[in-house]
Structure 1
Amino acid sequence: MQHGDRIASGVCQAPGSGEAPAPDSFIPQNIRGKLTRNASLAKLVWFKSGGAADWLFEPADREDLIAFLEQVQPGTPVMALGLGSNLIIRDGGVPGVVIRLGKAFAELHENTESVLHCGGGASGILVSSKARDAGIAGLEFLRGIPGTVGGFVRMNGGAYGREVADILVDCDVILPGGDFVTLPAGDLQYSYRHSALPEGAVVVSARFQGQPGDPAVIGAEMDKIAQAREESQPLRTKTGGSTFKNPPGEKAWALIDAAGCRGLTLGGAQVSEKHTNFLINTGDATSSDIEELGEEVRRRVAESQGVTLEWEIKRVGRP
C-alpha cells in the first residue's frame, strides 16, 4: 500500500475532457486494498494500448471501497474499470482515480424466484454459467458480452436481441464521496447502450431476473452464442468489441463495409477483415492510431452512406 498526502490539487476535469491537474499525493486512512500511483492501464484493456491512471485502486471489498471514496477530494474524476473490453484508454492517461474490482466483487448467488445476485466484477461468462447451473433462463445472452456486470449495467449491454434493461431488477452503487445506494432499474432511464447512472458511480452488485429453465437447454443456447461469436468476430486479436452503435434500422458493419473500409489501416490500427465493426491493434498501435482510424471510418461512412455513426466504445483520458 502506498501512502502520500490527500488529493489536493484542485478539481480535476472529467475523463476525456482534456488536461486535468494530476493529484500530487494521497494518504488514505484505514485502507486495505492496493493503491498504485501512475499505474499503467494498457495491460488491463483488450486493445493493449494507452497511458497510465493517476491512481489505480483495487479495493479489498465493498466497505474498503466506501472508506476510500469517502477520502477522495470532491471533484476528482472516478472511473470504474472492468475487463477493459469496450474501452480506449487515450495515450495521455486517465486523470483522477480508476477503480478496478477484483475477485471480492465477483460473487454470485441465487435469490428467490429465479433472481441472480451478481457482484459488479463478475464476467458475463461467469454470470451466464451460474444461471445455467441454477436453472435460470433468460440470461444466456450475457455469454456473448465480453465484460463485467458493472459495465453491463452502466452501458445497458446487450447481444443477440436482448439487453440488461430486460433483466435488471436493481443495482447497488457507490457514488463519489462514498454514499451507498440501491437504484431500481427504472431510475437508470435505459436507452440503447446508455443509462442515467451518475458519472463516477461504481456498480458493486446487481440483481438480474430470469425464469425457470432446463440447464441443458440453457447450456445449448450458450454454446450456440459462443460459436456464433467465434465464427463472426475477431476474438483472438487485440480488439475492443463493437466500435459503433447500430443506427436505427441499420447495421454499423454493413455501412462500414459499403464505405470501403474493410481492412483499412492507420498506423498499427486496422478495421477487421472478419467483422468491420471491430477495430484491431495489429501489434504496435497507439490509442491515437485506433481512435483516429475510427474517426476516419466515421468520416467515410458519413460521406458515402449519409449516416453519422456514434461511438459505442468508450474513449477516456487525455489525448
Structure 2
Amino acid sequence: MEAGKTIAQKTGGNGPSLTREQFTQAFHDMLLIRRFEEKAGQLYGMGLIGGFCHLYIGQEAVVVGIQMALKDGDKIITSYRDHGQMLAAGMTPRGVMAELTGRATGYSHGKGGSMHMFSREKNFYGGHGIVGAQVALGIGLAFANKYRETDEVSIAYFGDGAANQGQVYESFNLAALHKLPCIFVIENNLYGMGTSIERASASHELWRNGEPWGIPGRRIDGMDIAAVHEAASEAVAHCRAGKGPYLLEMMTYRYRGHSMSDPAKYRKREEVDAVRKTRDPIEHVRQILLDAGVEDTALRSIENDVKAVVNDCAEFAQTSPEPDPAELYTDVLLEA
C-alpha cells in the first residue's frame, strides 16, 4: 500500500478512514501510554509514587482516537484516571512522571500528584479526584468557547461509575439549554471502584442518558481506534457547527484494578485474559499495520523508541529535586 492512502477496509465504519501514517502514529501514542503506565505501576510498587494512582492500561484507543479528531485550542478535562489523557494531549512524559513522583520539575511542581496536574499550554484542565465533578467544569470550558465565539470544543471524560452522579445530569441540562460545544465521553470499562455497571446502574445504555435533554448519543467499541476516531469526528463536527452537546459511550476495559490498591477480586482473571487476548487495542493496530505491509522491524523500532522515552522519564523523575519546603505555602491563596 502506498503511503498516505487510507486503510478503509479496517475501519469498520462509514466515517473518516485512517491513513497508514495515522495508524502508525496511533500505534506509537497508545504504546507510549501503555509503557508509561506500566512504569508508573513499577515506581508505585517501589514506594516512589505516593497517594492514589489509577492506571489507564487497556483503554488507550479511546483517548488517542478522540485526540486525533481535535485541533489546537480544544479543551480537555477528565477524572483521576488521567495520565493517558495528559500524554495524548502532548504533555511531556518527563513532566508527568516527575509530578507522579512529587518532584519540583512536575507539572504542578510536585504538589498535585497523580490526580491533580494541569497544563494550560496543552489545554488540559486536569484530572479531578471528586467523582463526576469535572463534568460541570467541562461545560464551563465549553461555555467559555461559545462566549468567545470560537469553534473550539470541550471534551469532558468520565467513567461509568460517575455516569449517574447528579452533577452529570445538571451538566447535561445546562449544556443542552445553551447549546454548548461539549462532548461528553463516558469511558465505560464495565466496573466502578468495585462494582460492575450491571449492578450499579438501572440504565444499561448509558449513551441514551442524554435523551431527555435532546442530546444525541452513540455507543462505540472503544477498543477499536478507527471506530473511536470516526465517532469522535462526527461529534466534533456536530459541536463545531453550533448544534450543542454530544454524548459518546466508549465501551472499553481496564486491565488493572480501579487503583493500585485494588486487588480486583470482583472479576475473574480469565475475563481479563480473554480481553487481552482477543480485543487488545494496541495489538489490533499492530495487526492492521502488518496487514498493510508495514515491516515488523519498523514496529519494533517504535517499541524501542518508546521504551527509551519511558526509561528516560523515570530516570528524570527519580533524579529531580523535591519541592522546597517554602512551596508548601504557594499556590494556596491568591490575594487580589
TM bin (shorter chain): under 0.3
| Structure showing the higher helix proportion among its residues | 2
Q: TM-score, normalised by structure 1?
A: 0.28
Structure number with higher relative contact order (C-alpha < 8 Å, ≥ 6 residues apart): 2
Give the TM-score of the pair, scaled to structure 2.
0.27
Q: Which has the higher strand share?
A: 1
